[in-house]
Amino acid sequence: MTISDRVLDVLVGVAEIEDLRHDPDVRLYDLQILDSMKTVELIVAFAAEFGVEISPTEFDREDWATPRKIIAYMERKVAA
């Protein structure tokens, strides 16, 4: 399973919207799919899935604006 697939599994699990797998450019915050509470859930879920620490202070809403951007962020984070 690729990092992309794993990120989408976590994102779909937190957002509870299966269609996110098929629209990598959907604006998650603009459409209120993610909010501050869901973002915290996502940070915790990514830490559990990938074994990486994501500090809330390093979170940038624009870096996490779409599924595609979250995948790119997590690929960089896992590779670091």
19-54: pLDDT as tens digits: 999 999 999 999 999 999 999 999 999 999 999 999
| Distance separating alpha carbons of residues 27 and 52, to the nearest angstrom | 24
Axis-axis angle for helices 36-50, 67-79 (nearest 10): 40
- Go through the domains of the chain in sequence order and give each one's CATH number: 3-79 (1.10.1200.10)
| pTM exceeding the 0.95 threshold for the entire prediction | no
pLDDT for 45 equals 97
